[in-house]
A and B are shown apart, each in its own frame.
Chain A
Amino acid sequence: MKGAEAIIKALKKEDVEHVFGYPGGAVIDLYDAIHEDDDLKHILTRHEQGAAHAADGYARVTGKAGVCIATSGPGATNLVTGIATAHMDSVPVVALTGQVPVEMIGNDAFQEADTTGITIPITKHNQLLKESKNILSTIKKSFHIAETGRNGPVLIDIPKDLQSEDIDFDYPKDISLPGYNPTFRPHELQIKKAVDAIMEARRPVIYAGGGVIASNASKELRELSETIMAPVTTTLLAKGCYNEESDLCLGMLGMHGTKEANYAITESDLIIAVGARFDDRVTGKIEGFAPNAKIVHIDIDPAEIGKNVKTHIPIVGDAKKALNKLIKRINRKKIKKENTEWHNKIKRWKKEKSESLKSEGKRIKPQFVVKKISEKTPDDTILATEVGQCQMWAAHYYKFKKPRTFLTSGGLGTMGYGLPASIGAQIAAPDKKVWNIAGDGSIQMNIQEIATAVKFNLPINIAILNNNYLGMVRQWQELFFDERYSQTHLGENPDFSKIAEGFGAKGMVVEKDSEVEEAIDIANSTDKPVLIDFKVKKEENVYPMVPSGSTLTEMLERKDIKGD
């Protein structure tokens, strides 16, 4: 059969049901095979960046690799931001790109770009195929690499002529990757050391990262924390791996972390980091990070251990396996449980802050909108975000309860991620509610994807927290550049609700507190895409905030927050 047909068949062997893509000359054979195939569902986005983010959203929801396709040259370069986003957040994506025919590579042929060269730094692995006989083994390897070890994107660049060559469909059972042997099983001795440290600790904190979600270890995380009564702080990417309504939950740590999380880390004598990488947004000034703590670091990627902070007890391996081993070995009888000095301290930090989210006759507070969405949507709702203040308010005011329900670009911070990621999520989980918390700036980066959502009848809901600003940058300018708002005032925005209507979605505008709940209800019960333009307070800031370069306890807090 033709190479193109074999590629489609191979995707199905890898249990791929949906692919996101955009056609062009160098993938025209592949698209012909897609046309002829009855099972594989192709979602045509309106921009290749949308296809990449949609594949990423699909992967974060399912845990399986998302697949995207683009043509050579501009098609491939349009994928780049999406691939880099997946790379930074360790999301399994397989990207297939067309390339000019083998004979023409290197000649600056029409729509030629050095796609593998461009994507080396932003993929877990990539491969330019030169011979059709390697097509099938490369696909098999790519899925294996993307979905095992520390997950990540893999790109296969496929010259046009290979797609039309005849090959035998003989899908390999085994593959040989002599240089790829991720360690899954944690070392027993290290586990023992960690258990000893846990038994000795007086002020333990579990610091959970995206790896907990990637390894589906939420249950084990809860069990460990409840066994040793250790409070849990999560990174942005780990939201959902631990019920935020639990007393032991400290919320997010870091630059926009909660007071209780940042204080607990700083005073802790034992940090158990699970699937997290001590990113600078998390640690603040590294010298002041957890000065009194021993650090246990569980990670599937040995290169993360000791990269940013000194680790006392490294445990390389799968988070789920490591947590299970820890739980088994802990002597439950000897653990001092509730109401220790440490727990009381945390309770005091956590004490309910009486923050008023009412508009008081002015524009709606953005936090109020997120809080209401949180209250009025089912627990298994999938929440995507764009980037900026809107993202941080989503993180703070939405109560996450389940893993794989939060889609956000953490590592790269890609504006324009949320809408296409919501599309991927809704395709992956047709029965769940999907919301995208957006900013008025970010939404304009991939707004064309409303057309995709309409076309595929995806009832996603977009909540724009419209503050007429590139708010997060404005906040920095306010705090650190004497309110010189250089190029962050968007001023009069286009009428987003009309844009939505123009695309065939439902558009709404909400300007009063009293209209918020009703609008959310309407969105939740409308079976097509809905965009709500919430006109929110223009100059609201995200607090608490640790200015970059400061330690975690040097937090700027909101002046009008009462309480502790």
Chain B
Amino acid sequence: MGVHILGLLVENKPGVLNRVAGLFSRRGFNISTISVGMTENPDISRMTISIKGDEKELEQVTKQLNKQIEVIKVSEISKDYVERRLALIKVNTSDSEDRSEIMQIADVFRANVVDVSKKNVTIEVTGDRDKIEAIIEMLKEHGIKEIAKTGTVALNRGKKSMEVD
């Protein structure tokens, strides 16, 4: 069972997210993450869905998604691509030494400190899944208070792109 990333171009209409998400649960496919946003064309949204499953499941998912009237295009984003997630992590700090250690970790991961108060530091980090899991692991020692993570977004590198034809 591998992790696959699917890019979807869909009509930007109410209910489309519901339709797509429902299809996954209805047919017993596992969504790991999903993210949605408008594209350069306001009538079209792009969804990025990462799923766990074997090749056969991936094929079925793709075909079932393609059958949805409001789904314009589905393609697997694989091989040469850029993948990013974003996480905001609020960490407990006991003293200034603690705080500077956390900031060092943030530095190593090229994360930004976006909020500091007496008892907490909030860090913003972007990267692929492994990077985000790695920084979380490092910060755990300090006591994580809250995490908010986005799903994956991904684009192919170079010329290759998804377009409505």
Contacts and interface: CB of A to CB of B under 8 A. Distances in A.
Assign chain B's interface to a size class.
20 to 34
B11 interface: yes
A178 B69 CA distance: 8
Interface string B11-54: 10011001100100010000000000000000000000000000
B20 to A, nearest CB: 10
Interface stretch (A115-123, A210-218, A271-279, A398-406): A115-123
B71 interface: yes
Contact of A116 (B15, B60, B67, B71): B15
A303 B22 contact: no
Nearest to A145: B69
Contact of A302 (B15, B18, B66): B66
Nearest to B26: A121
A498 interface: no
Given A117-B18, A120-B22, A178-B11, A303 B71 contact: no
Contacts of B14: 128, 130
A420 B119 CA distance: 70
A120 B19 contact: yes
A303 B64 contact: yes
A549 interface: no
A304 B72 CA distance: 19
A208 B82 CA distance: 46
A180 interface: yes
Contact of A306 (B26, B59, B67, B72): B59
Given A303-B60, A303-B64, A179 B11 contact: yes
Contacts of A35: none
A178 B164 CA distance: 8
A538 interface: no
B100 interface: no
B10 A179 contact: yes
B70 interface: yes
Interface string A176-200: 0111100000000000000000000
A455 interface: no
Interface in A303-342: 303, 306-307
A180 B72 CA distance: 7
B71 A179 contact: yes
A120 B63 CA distance: 17
A306 B61 CA distance: 12
In this complex, which of A116, A130, A145 has the most chain B Cβ atoms within 10 angstroms of its Cβ?
Answer: A116
Interface in B51-110: 56, 59-60, 63-64, 66-73
Task: Sort A-B residue pairs by CB-CB distance and give the 5 closest, nearest first.
Answer: A303-B63, A179-B72, A125-B69, A178-B72, A180-B69
13 contacts: A120-B22, A124-B69, A177-B69, A178-B11, A178-B164, A179-B10, A179-B11, A179-B70, A179-B71, A179-B72, A179-B73, A301-B67, A307-B60
